[in-house]
């Protein structure tokens, strides 16, 4: 019990130190501010939007920004500012669930097969290479067209396809650790592979997986918005930044304000996540440019 308490204290203390170190970096402070801002807006947006995001008014079609409609109105007379505030809720919910799942299963498989090594490891990496050689959008569209566009389909689809690259990263991190003396000592003591993964490997590759998870989150958000842009993500009339950009692109020549709000919202969130991930990598001493072994 004492050991568990001490380990928990050390873990919490290190987490606090990492957060403080990230905040001490300008990129980390700006990134965390942007990410937290979007998370807070996603939670409170139903209570602060000035208009109903579904409310249509034909007399306000493509109205330019004014004091009442800060970002103007779209082709159906809906308030763009209200829809922009609400536009990130489903994207953050889906990717916020899918990202940990992707990192968890991809990380476990990568660590396990990195530990096993040999022919099994080589066969796995060839399968991973085969998946990565195909465009992600085609792979996901096949499943989404087949099974639908609900959250129950989007979450496992994104988690599966974005977990595959995590396998390579986790395997590379594992290869850096398995040659160390404490791994050989654990094997000599007769520890099982699961025990070695839990007690020896996972604590040493967790930092890498945390940084990878942050990066996967930003890429997953882009993928989700791309699917919505193509009509396979959020279904109308629910707002989504990708869907809003798709709806407004036909009017950009004379009503460009339709894309300004969602573009700024999406780009600021992606920039915030990337800045945070970069600061986190520097704080943890992770080299994001390091190549994974094949």
Domain boundaries, the chain: 2-44+89-284, 49-86
The stretch 181-188 carries a mean pLDDT of: 74
Residue 269 pLDDT class (50, 70, 90 cuts):
very high
Class of domain 2-44+89-284: mainly alpha
Question: Does position 292 have pLDDT exceeding 60, yes or no?
Answer: no
Q: What is the pLDDT of residue 2?
A: 41
Q: What is the pLDDT of residue 135?
A: 80
Q: Which of 87, 43, 16 is closest to 248 using CA atoms?
A: 87
Question: Does position 212 have pLDDT exceeding 60, yes or no?
Answer: yes
pLDDT tens-digit profile of 118-154?
Answer: 888 888 888 888 888 878 778 788 888 788 777 888 8
Q: What is the pLDDT of residue 234?
A: 81
Q: Report the percentage of the chain scoring pLDDT > 70.
A: 93
Supply the DSSP string of the chain, one letter for each residue. -HHHHHHHHHHHHHHHHHHHHHHHSHHHHHHHHHHHHHHHHHHHHHHH-SS-TT---GGGTTPPP-SSSTT-B-TTS-BHHHHHHHTTHHHHHHHHHHHHHHHHHHHHHHHHHHHH-HHHHHHHHHHHHHHHTS-HHHHHHHHHHHH-SSHHHHHHHHHHHHHHHHHHHHHHHHHTTTTSHHHHHHHHTT--HHHHIIIIIHHHHHHHHHHHHHHHHHHHHHHHHHHHHHTSSSPTTS--HHHHHHHHGGGTTT-THHHHHHHHHHHHHHHHHHHHHHHHHHHHT--TTPPPP-
Residues 6+ apart with CB under 8 A from 175: 114, 293
Q: What is the pLDDT of residue 289?
A: 54
pLDDT tens-digit profile of 66-124?
Answer: 999 999 999 999 999 999 999 999 999 999 999 999 999 999 999 988 888 788 888 88
Q: What is the pLDDT of residue 131?
A: 84
Q: What is the pLDDT of residue 9?
A: 47
The stretch 194-221 carries a mean pLDDT of: 87
Lowest mean pLDDT: which of 7-16, 103-112, 130-139, 262-271? 7-16
Mean pLDDT of the chain: 86
Query: Up-side HSE of residue 195: CA atoms within 13 Å toward CB?
Result: 10
Q: What is the pLDDT of residue 17?
A: 85
Q: What string of H, E and C letters represents the secondary structure of 236-255?
A: CCCCCHHHHHHHHHHHCCCC
Lowest mean pLDDT: which of 1-10, 99-108, 262-271? 1-10
């Amino acid at each position: 019990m004492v050991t568990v308490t001490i380990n928990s204290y050390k873990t919490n203390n290190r987490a606090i130190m990492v957060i403080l170190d990230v905040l001490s970096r300008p990129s980390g402070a700006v990134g965390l501010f942007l990410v937290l801002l979007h998370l807070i807006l996603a939670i409170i947006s139903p209570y602060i939007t000035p208009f109903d995001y579904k409310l249509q008014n034909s007399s306000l079609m493509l109205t330019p920004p004014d004091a009442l409609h800060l970002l103007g109105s779209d082709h159906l007379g809906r308030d763009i500012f209200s829809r922009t505030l609400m536009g990130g809720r489903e994207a953050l919910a889906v990717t916020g669930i899918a990202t940990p799942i992707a990192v968890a299963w991809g990380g476990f498989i990568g660590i396990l097969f990195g530990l096993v090594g040999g022919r099994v490891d080589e066969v796995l990496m060839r399968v991973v290479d085969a998946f990565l050689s195909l465009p992600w959008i085609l792979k996901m569209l096949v499943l989404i067209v087949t099974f639908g566009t609900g959250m129950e389909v989007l979450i496992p689809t994104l988690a599966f396809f974005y977990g595959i690259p995590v396998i390579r990263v986790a395997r590379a991190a594992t290869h850096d650790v398995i040659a160390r003396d404490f791994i050989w000592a654990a094997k000599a003591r007769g520890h099982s592979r699961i025990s070695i993964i839990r007690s020896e490997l996972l604590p040493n590759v967790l930092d890498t997986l945390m940084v990878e998870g942050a990066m996967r989150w930003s890429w997953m958000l882009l993928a989700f918005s791309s699917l919505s842009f193509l009509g396979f993500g959020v279904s109308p009339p629910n707002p989504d930044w990708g869907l809003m950009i798709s709806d407004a692109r036909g009017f950009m020549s004379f009503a460009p304000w339709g894309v300004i709000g969602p573009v700024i919202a999406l780009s600021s969130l992606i920039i915030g996540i990337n800045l945070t991930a970069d600061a986190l990598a520097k704080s943890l001493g992770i080299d994001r440019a390091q190549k994974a072994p094949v």
